[in-house]
Amino acid sequence: MNRFIFVCILALFVSEVWAQRNFIDLSGSWRFALDRDDVGTEQFWFDRVLQEEVRLPGSLVEQNIGDVITLETQWTGSIYDSSFYYHPRLEKFRQSDNLKLPFWLTPLKHYVGVAWYQRDFVLSANDLRGSLNLFLEQPHTEASVWVNGKEVGTQNSMVVAHQFEIADLVKEGNNTLTIRVDNRIKTINVGPDSHSLTDHTQGNWNGIIGRIGMEKRSKIHLDDIQVYPDIHQKKANIRLNVRTNRTSELRILYKAESFNSSVFHQTRRYTRTIQPRNVKDTIDLSMTLGEGMLLWDEFHPNVYRATFQLYDGENLLDEREVTFGMREFKARGRYFYVNGRKTFLRGTCDNAVFPITGYPDTDVDSWLKIFRKIKSYGLNHVRYHSWCPPEAAFKAADIVGLYLQPEGPSWANHGSSLGRGEPIDQYIYEETGRMARQYGNYASFCMMAYGNEPRGNQIPYLTAFVNYWKAKDARRLYTGASVGGSWPVIQNNEFMVRAGARGVDWNRRPESQSDFRQQIAQFTVPFVAHELGQHCVFPNFEEIEKYTGAYRAKNFELFEEDLNDHHMGDQAKIFLQASGGLQALAYKHEMERAFRTPGYSGFQLLSLSDYPGQGTAMVGLLDAFWEEKGYIDAKEFRKACDTTVLLIRTPKFVFDHSETLRFSIDVVHFGQRALENPTLNWRLLNNKRNAYAEGKLIVDKLDLGLHENIEQIEVPLDGIRTAKEMKLEIVLEGTEISNDWDFYIYPKELPVLSNDVFYATEINDRVSQALAGGGTVFLNLSGKITKGKEIEQHFRPVFWNTSWFKMRPPHTLGITLDDRHAAFASFPTKNHSSLQWWDVLHKTQVMHLEDFPASFRPLVQPIDTWFMNRRLALLFEAKVGKGKILVSSADLSEDSENIVRKNLYHSIVNYMASSSFQPAQEIDIRLIQNLVTKESTLTFDTYTRSSPDELKPDLKEMLQH
């Protein structure tokens, strides 16, 4: 075995033995009692023996303790759609024996209030020789401690461990520890939608998680060790505290050695003699890393473990260990630089969704699994929306190589605000201070914000907040808050996390020329897009069986049962896959638009994984368990999101054969180093992957950053005579880096259609006569639909979800169809919305088939929001009497000047004129008439006036009050 590896393993073993020898584990069975009326303190419950049993670490809810969920349960979180409580259609889900809430995952039980936890422990005389620190990794949220009936104190952090010195209150032999945990929002109001406690995500649970026990330390010991890397001087500056009860001479021995690295590196052992003067002395040290110094970043996450030993003569008093990385994270101009290398942040939001336990994982292995999944999708950054993860997350991120933005545990809105002198103002400083002390050495801790989208006197408050942290700790960058585009700009931010430069203008025909340079022109610091994406997919009901822990997916169960009630239960998986195809397309185009923008510094997706709250937001390409849903994988996603992304700029994706396809190639490259003499191969392929045109580009060099207009390419399309779906593929030769885009080419001149199909735009006597005589009718009802007029279809899918945004359009999730159906024989298509369908679908009416037979299925079916599950149609065929009819709510005709609609119409009419046109479903013509003359029976009403900020017309004024 390599000597250095052996030394590293030996050091790990010795350190672990030391830590275990000095930690008294208190996990296991505890006594407990619920204090619903908050009388326990007055009645001295800390002096009585509690009678019930619970296990810690853990929460009450995962042990099925608390109140039964009812319609009267008082949740922690905003609800803007109250239709669940009032709509007759949902009455059956309001029954106590079938209660299914649509807003979020449903816990087994619910309890907000005071709970008491108690256990006995035994100490030996040896245990009493020094300091004894009670360590509670994460109570939720306020913890008060008594030892042997004597009060120790109260702490209320939601970001770090609660620690209490209890040496003066314990005795040899039996001792009793009593902890009062209170998860109510009281004087410190972080905001009910904060992900640190809201029922929208992790839930407002009561309990204690992580490590629980007592740390034995010498009365003379080390404390608060902070490491400040200086990569330019190749050294680390260190500041630590020595706590002592005397002034005799002491020695500090310290060194550092690497781990998680391909090569081993260590410093020499340093010795520093000190003469304490106070109970707590602050000592400054340094260590030289030298020429062998290993830097930490996303590509090479080399971590150092520093060991500090405190000696009195030859007597070892204390030993402490911290990990750190030699990393510099800076902003220069509009870009981030990691160790001097220009960097683009490709991030996702982590919203504290832990569907089995409800609370965050506190073990490193669980976080390694999550982070490796994130990184497999080409991402290098995670934002923690209004919460801070446990220490295990930072340890894992250091190992994997991710840039983290934890936040204070607050979304100071919806009943809370900043800058008005309320307790929350000071609490934010305290909490972020605790984060910096506890996690500040971790290389992955690169950015910090107060939290999310505040209300109140925020400009002076956040300006002061940023100034405070810039002066106090330069190891990371600071921004006041992560905000939407309507929030005020905090001018001294070191980087911006805000909306405004995100999205794709789907009101225009699909293109890939536009970017966000105009939207970010005002900013001189790095701009990171806030919550980019939010494109929805239909729920995956097969996911329900995964919820085996503290939470049940009752929201999914409601949506599934409602889908069954609307006679479409058999289509659930079809809806998932079809809407997933559109969701993936929407994310691809939005990310590529960001990458095309000069000076754009990053984005934070909302999100790679699902958000099961705020009405149930199915925005993830992965589910709440960080697992694939079946319609996209990491390899496909990385084509549009990775260190190197190949891009094109083209004005459109739909052409007629007389045109020339013109595109230019861009490359965005933020890899380890510049690409020397890269070769780009491009091909325009048909569906059999035969090349219609191809070419090769040899580029001198691609430095880090965006390279625009590397080459302009023209491809005449006159060799394509029939409708084709073509794929433009670009590959970086010698690598797995590639990207591709679908193009649609249509013949400009089409053959004359058969006269056997009668074309009509309304149901009149001629239509009735044609059908009665066994004729074939194409009925164009574009613009005439009444039953379904309330449903607004856009090309893009639902944004976030229709419940949270009170049915703000769009209401649909794309379309599903059988792409092998004869109706589309000369109209190449996928089985879901693809770019050519924009011309047919965007803001086109849909037909609501609520009165049609239960088994009736349309040819092209828009997928409704899962909150309504209406059976919709864009095109359907049927037998009517002796005749046959095909009905369209899209404006399709022979005279259309739109080449897509005209080609679709030709394909359909050719099918109708053929022997293949044999509709299997028979209906009464009155059902078709009702689509024009009658309104929908099923309608929507939120039954509430309250709304999220984005729907408030006076948002800017409101945010200041």
Buried b (16+ CB within 10 A) or exposed e, 702-712: bebbbbeebee
Above 90 in pLDDT, residue 336?
Answer: yes
Measured CA to CA, the distance from residue 763 to residue 932 in angstroms comes to 9
Element (H, E) at 840: helix 838-841
Tell me which residue of 836, 844, 849, 862 sits closest to 579, measured CA to CA: 862
Above 70 in pLDDT, residue 44?
Answer: yes
Is residue 898 in some structural domain? yes
Above 50 in pLDDT, residue 12?
Answer: no
Residues 517 and 655 in one domain: no
Measured CA to CA, the distance from residue 124 to residue 118 in angstroms comes to 20
Residues 765 and 616 in one domain: no
From residue 325, give the alpha-carbon distance in Å to each of 306, 401, 475.
10, 10, 11
Confidence tier at 5 by pLDDT (50, 70, 90): very low
CA atoms within 13 A on the CB side of 680: 26
Measured CA to CA, the distance from residue 868 to residue 90 in angstroms comes to 10
pLDDT per residue as tens digits for the range 382-393: 999 999 999 999
Last residue of a domain, one of 195, 216, 237: 216
Is residue 945 in some structural domain? no
**How does DSSP assign 160-180, residue by residue?**
S-EEEE-GGG--SEEEEEEEE
Residues across the chain: 961
Cβ-based neighbours of 7, under 8 Å, separated by 6 or more: 257, 264, 266
Residues 584 and 717 in one domain: no
Domain CATH number, residue 782: 3.40.50
- Cβ atoms of 229 and 327 within 8 Å: the answer is yes
Is residue 730 in some structural domain? yes
Report how many domains make up the chain: 5
Residue 112 has what pLDDT?
99
Is residue 12 in some structural domain? no
Domain CATH number, residue 256: 2.60.40.10
Domain CATH number, residue 94: 2.60.120.260
pLDDT per residue as tens digits for the range 134-163: 999 999 999 999 999 999 999 999 999 999
Task: Tell me the one-letter amino acid at 604.
Answer: Q
- Cβ atoms of 237 and 228 within 8 Å: the answer is yes
- Cβ atoms of 444 and 402 within 8 Å: the answer is yes
Last residue of a domain, one of 611, 636, 661: 636
Write out the residue range of the structural domain in which residue 306 sits: 220-324
What value does the mean pLDDT of the chain take?
96
pLDDT per residue as tens digits for the range 699-738: 999 999 999 999 999 999 999 999 999 999 999 999 999 9
Tell me which residue of 288, 397, 279, 291 sits closest to 347, measured CA to CA: 397
- Which residue carries 């996928």 as its tokens? 830
Give, in degrees to the nearest 5, the angle at Cα 476 between 471 and 480: 70
Residues 196 and 271 in one domain: no
β 329-332/675-676 pair status: unpaired
Residue 957 has what pLDDT?
64
What tokens does 698 get?
Answer: 């040899």
Confidence tier at 930 by pLDDT (50, 70, 90): very high
Task: Tally Cβ neighbours within 10 Å of residue 288.
Answer: 14
3-state secondary structure of 259: strand
Residues 528 and 486 in one domain: yes
Residues 303 and 349 in one domain: no
pLDDT per residue as tens digits for the range 63-114: 999 999 999 999 999 998 999 999 999 999 999 999 999 999 999 999 999 9
Q: Order of strands, edge to edge, in the sheet holding 860-864?
A: 757-760, 776-780, 883-888, 875-880, 860-864, 812-817
Averaged pLDDT, 917-923: 97
Confidence tier at 954 by pLDDT (50, 70, 90): low
Above 90 in pLDDT, residue 17?
Answer: no
Percent of the chain with pLDDT over 90: 93
Measured CA to CA, the distance from residue 541 to residue 543 in angstroms comes to 5
Residues 780 and 852 in one domain: yes
CA dihedral 209, 211, 217, 220 (to 10 degrees): -60
Residue 278 has what pLDDT?
83
Residues 819 and 872 in one domain: yes
Tell me which residue of 252, 247, 123, 116 sits closest to 180, measured CA to CA: 116
Reading phi first (left if > 0) and then psi (alpha if -120 to 50, else beta), residue 914 is in: beta
Helix/strand/coil (H/E/C) assignment for every residue in 569-625 = HHHHHHHHHHHHHHHHHHHHHHHHHHHCCCCEEEEEEECCECECCCCCECCCCECCC
Is residue 84 in some structural domain? yes
Beta-strand ranges (E) seen in 368-454 are 381-384, 403-405, 447-449
Averaged pLDDT, 203-212: 99
Residue 10 has what pLDDT?
41
Last residue of a domain, one of 636, 661, 679: 636
Residues 589 and 714 in one domain: no
Residues 735 and 819 in one domain: no
Q: Order of strands, edge to edge, in the sheet holding 644-649?
A: 644-649, 660-669, 705-716
**Rounded (10°) angle between helices 391-400 and 423-439:** 50
Confidence tier at 941 by pLDDT (50, 70, 90): confident
From residue 610, give the alpha-carbon distance in Å to each of 367, 375, 578, 584, 626.
17, 17, 17, 14, 8
Is residue 338 in some structural domain? no
Is residue 464 in some structural domain? yes
Above 60 in pLDDT, residue 1?
Answer: no
Domain CATH number, residue 530: 3.20.20.80
pLDDT per residue as tens digits for the range 814-824: 999 999 999 99
Residues 80 and 160 in one domain: yes
Residues 848 and 913 in one domain: yes
Is residue 534 in some structural domain? yes
Residue 955 has what pLDDT?
61
pLDDT per residue as tens digits for the range 420-471: 999 999 999 999 999 999 999 999 999 999 999 999 999 999 999 999 999 9
Task: Tally Cβ neighbours within 10 Å of residue 722.
Answer: 11
- Cβ atoms of 816 and 562 within 8 Å: the answer is no
Averaged pLDDT, 238-251: 92
3-state secondary structure of 182: strand
